[in-house]
Amino acid sequence: MAERRQTVRVERLEGRPELPLPARATPGSAGFDVAAAEAVDLVRGRVDLVGTGLRLRPPAGTFLELRPRSGLSSRGVIMVNAPGTIDRDYSGELRVPLTYLFEGSYRISVGDRIGQLRLVDDRPARFALGRVRPVAGRQGGFGSTGR
């Protein structure tokens, strides 16, 4: 069965023609890496919205999900509000909210990979009142399976 690919429209914002388009690091990668369009010194206790220099438009029936990169988290850099949802009708620059957990600062340079995108199907749904039958052993939430 042939792989069905969808096209996400990408616009490079003025002043950053050298920045790469979102891309998978390896053929088996689940996410498409996005790079920083600006240099930022992250410090503990502050959230910086790091620009990517890109505006994106996912195809109809989808949205984009912005996720953190595990390699950054091992160095104390985390993405707040993760995962982030980029709605189909959002038309601003994709910016990644990052913070630093350790003392001192962490330098994000232009071109550093700072997040990853996933294209997600968005099937229409509706919510209707009705009885919801509990599933045995799964009512505690937050670690209710004990694992």
- Count the domains in the chain: 1
CATH of the domain at 61: 2.70.40.10
* pLDDT score of 146: 55
More confident residue, 16 or 48: 48
Tell me the whole-structure pTM to 2 decimals. 0.84
Name the pLDDT band for 3 (thresholds 50, 70, 90). Answer: low
My answer on whether omega of the bond before 17 falls inside 30° of 0, hence cis, is no
CA-closest candidate to residue 79, choices 121, 25, 111, 36: 36
Which structural domain range is residue 77 located in?
Answer: 9-121
CA–CA separation, 41 and 100 (whole Å): 9
* pLDDT score of 141: 59
pLDDT tens per residue across span 62-77? 999 999 998 999 999 9
Instruction: With respect to residue 139, please indicate whether it lies within any of the assigned structural domains.
Output: no
Instruction: With respect to residue 143, please indicate whether it lies within any of the assigned structural domains.
Output: no
Instruction: With respect to residue 137, please indicate whether it lies within any of the assigned structural domains.
Output: no
Q: Is the pLDDT of residue 119 over 90?
A: yes
